[in-house]
Amino acid sequence: MDKQEALKFVEEKVTNRNLVKHMLATEAVMRALARKFGEDEDKWGIAGLLHDIDYDKTKDDPKKHSLVGGEMLKEKGLDEEIVHAVKAHNDVHGIERKTLMDKALYSTDPLTGLIVAAALIHPEKKLSAIDARFVLNRYNENSFARGANRGQIAKCSELGLSLEEFIEIGLKAMQEIADDLGL
């Protein structure tokens, strides 16, 4: 599945516009991480773009989230590595994150929310107005963006990245698609 097919699939399955933006942000960060690690950017990007494909089907039963999505992707013939990464990004299932892609998707998922929240509290409400230090300062405020799981973001250490470096990569990737994100 190429990016255009994946976007079409997202348009068919995901009705929440903010969730689509989150999926686009996750794709951008995953592509940037793939570049950093010399991995397949398209594969990592597709994993990021499709990781929440099952949200409309599972929003009332979060314990099924990611398992349903993984099966949807398997039925579409996606690579098993992508299917596994999608299934493993939800802690509820206890699926071991084995590959670099698994670990990257797990940490990237909440990072995008933290970065968006940080941009939205800035007077300009733009990604271009913030830097990694600004986001890191917000990360350290426990009452800020409580839905952005700090422990999950901190697992970037399993990628061999410091928190600041991970935030820098994520923010830069999201800044590159700021128009698509409306930020």
pLDDT at position 62: 87
pTM: 0.97
Domains and CATH numbers, the chain: 3-181 (1.10.3210)
CB 47 within 8 A of CB 100: no
Whole-number Å distance between alpha carbons of 63 and 125: 34
Report which DSSP code applies to 129: G
pLDDT tens over the chain, length 183 residues: 999 999 999 999 999 999 999 999 999 999 999 999 999 999 999 999 999 999 999 999 989 999 999 999 999 999 999 999 999 999 999 999 999 999 999 999 999 999 999 999 999 999 999 999 999 999 999 899 999 999 999 999 999 999 999 999 999 999 999 999 999
d(CA 117, CA 119): 5
Cα–Cα distance measured from residue 182 to residue 9, given in angstroms and rounded to the nearest whole number:
21
Rounded to an integer, what distance in angstroms lies between the CA atom of residue 69 and that of residue 58?
A: 9
Residue at 135: amino acid letter: V
Residue 102 pLDDT:
98
Rounded to whole angstroms, how far apart are CA atoms 14 and 93? 22
